[in-house]
Structures are given as structure tokens and as C-alpha cells.
Amino acid sequence: MIATVTLNPSLDEWIELPVLRLGVLNRASALRRYPGGKGINVSRVIHELGGATVAYALTGGDDGAILQRLLDEEDIRCAFVPVRGLTRNNYKISTRRPRALTEINTAGPQVSSTSLHALSRRLLRSRPRCVALSGSLPPGAAPTIYARWIRALRRAGIPSALDATGDALRHGLSVRPWLIKPNRQEAEEVLRHRVRGLRDAIQAAKALLASGPSPVILSLGADGALLAMSRPRGVWVAQPPRVTEPSSVGAVDSLVGGFLTGWVRGQPLTEAFRWGVACGTATAMTPGTALCRRAHVRRLVGRIVLRQVA
């Protein structure tokens, strides 16, 4: 079983408008609601691929209950710890003129050390095969929280996969998680230099690999992704087919879900990486914050070009 941790989940409200005008009434042409949060998205993809997963999260109030119901409808196993306040709402506003996606993310409820400790106890008692720690931190969670959990998971013999940003990523990286999955901007923040073309991205992946985790997946948006490993040693680039992107929301989370599913099933890491990139590509082809479908992933995986570059 793959466990995912989302300390700051959300309800994602997808709103479609012909055009967004400030200061006046706008009438939406469509409105859809999805369960949100990076770790929850990872669990949704693992489940879609037929894998076993449990989504661990902190949730609060009526919106937390709605999040639980939406995941129950998808048959996703959950282990939620309640907090005071309301689970946050994030807004994705898709406009036709100009063709753009405007995102408004809220901070989320204040969380206590008691709730965080209760969630970590439940997680460790479940003895998962791997744990994905993903997403932003809510108010009240220290930037060292992921680092502390990574240490506890290592003591229990459980590999950790970290997808975070800023101080949470830096602290987490310092205690050597099994896997990290930064994007280009997050890599730039950690390494403190620009990552422009493929050559820079390769060097960035190597530098992150040298800091401890193995493997490292560096996502590059429409340019694909890099996989860097120490055993076997090398860097591989995956180039997905060019597709029309109704929405790239959740594509990186889908990459992580596909990769972990392949790894748990015993695939070589390079093949698990190919499946992850296929999942991310399939998600980019779906509207709103809907995620990939298994049939689409199977059709795409053979079209993912994978080559060793270092």
C-alpha cells in the first residue's frame, strides 16, 4: 500500500468564463468541484491505475466533510484527522479571452501540533510500502515538519517521496528522503541559480542527486521530465508527445502517482518513470482538475520517448 500525506487539502472549484472582467458581475459558463491537494491527487491516480493507497490528511468543518464525500464517491480510502476551521477552497478560473488559467489558492485552517502528531501516529501504525509527502503547509505547521516525518519513516524502514517547495523542501532534502520531485522553479530555489535549457536541467538533477536522495525526478512542464539515479548511475530524459492541454492542473501529481505505482509493482525505475510521465501527459489532456484515466495512460505509455543523456 502507498500512503499519501496532504497536510493542506482543498476543494478545487473549476470555473469557466468567456472573459474575466474586474469590478463587474461575471457569469460562469461552467462550474465543477474536485477533491484537491497534491497528495490526494497522487492517491487518486494510484487508485485509477489499480494500486492500493490510503490518503492521509487534515480536514475541517463542512468543507472537510464534502472532501470526504467526493473521495468516497471515487472509492478512495481515507484516513482524515479533524482540525478546527474549514478545509480551504482553491479557485481555478479558466477564460477563453485571453486563453488562460487564473488560480486563487487560500491559506487553509490553522493546525495544531496535537493534530499533526495524531496524523503521524496513524500513518506509522499502518506500515505502508511507501509514503508520498506532498504539497504546501497549512498555518501552524513548521517548515521542518516533513523533515521530522522523513526521519521517523526511515527509522521504521519506510521510503519517503517528497514533493514540496521552499523551506519545506530545503529542510526535507537535508535529511535525505528516498525520492524528491521538484519542478524547475523549485530546483532553482534550492540550488540558487537559474535552470534554463536541458543542459542546465541535467546539471541541476545531478546536483540534487548529490545531496542525498536517489532517485530525483525533475519536472520540466511541456519539455518533459528528467530522472536521475545513483544505481544504475545516470540521467534520463522523458519527452512526452505534444498534446493540446485543456488543463495541466494535477499533471505533476499524476507523474508521482504513476511512478510510485510502477515502482511498487517491481518495474525498473526507468520504466516506472515512463509510466509516470504517461500519467502526467494523460492528465494534461483532461479538462478541469480531472486526472488521468487508465485507458489513456496505456495508450500513451508507448509514445513516451526515454533516452539516457548523462
Do residues 4 and 134 make contact, with C-beta atoms less than 8 angstroms apart?
Answer: yes
Assign a CATH topology to domain 2-308.
Answer: UDP-N-acetylmuramoyl-L-alanine:D-glutamate ligase (3.40.1190)
Instruction: Look at residue 247 in the predicted model and tell me its pLDDT.
Output: 67
The residues that are catalytic are 253
**pTM of the model as a whole:** 0.94
Does the pLDDT value for residue 245 go beyond 70?
A: no
Q: For residue range 287-296, what is the model confidence (pLDDT) as tens digits?
A: 777 898 999 9
pLDDT at 231: 85
Q: What does the pLDDT look like over 251-292, one tens digit per residue?
A: 999 999 999 999 999 999 999 999 999 999 999 888 777 898
Find all residues with CB under 8 Å of 285, minimum gap 6, and list them: 243, 244, 245, 246, 296
- What's residue 249's pLDDT? 81
Evaluate the omega torsion of the peptide bond into residue 232 and state whether it is cis, within 30 degrees of 0.
yes
Q: What would the pLDDT profile of 151-204 be if each residue is shown by its tens digit?
A: 999 999 999 999 999 999 999 999 999 999 999 999 999 999 999 889 999 999
pLDDT, one tens digit per residue, over 54-92 is 999 999 999 999 999 999 999 999 999 999 999 999 999
CB atoms < 10 A from the CB of 214, how many?
A: 18
Taking the domains of the chain in order of start, what are their residue ranges? 2-308
The answer to whether 242 and 228 have CB atoms below 8 angstroms apart is no
Exposed/middle/buried for 199, CB within 10 Å: 0-12, 13-18, 19+?
exposed
Cell of 253: 501529481
Tell me which residue of 259, 264, 251 sits closest to 306, measured CA to CA: 259
Pairing of strands 130-134, 2-6: parallel
Name the percent of the chain lying above pLDDT 90: 86
Question: Between the CA of residue 160 and those of 129, 147, 213, 236, what are the distances in Å?
Answer: 9, 10, 10, 21
Residue-level pLDDT at 232: 86
Reading the block at residue 292, the C-alpha cell is 488521468
Distances from the Cα of 238 to the Cαs of 55, 122, 188, 221, 280, in angstroms?
Answer: 28, 36, 20, 11, 11
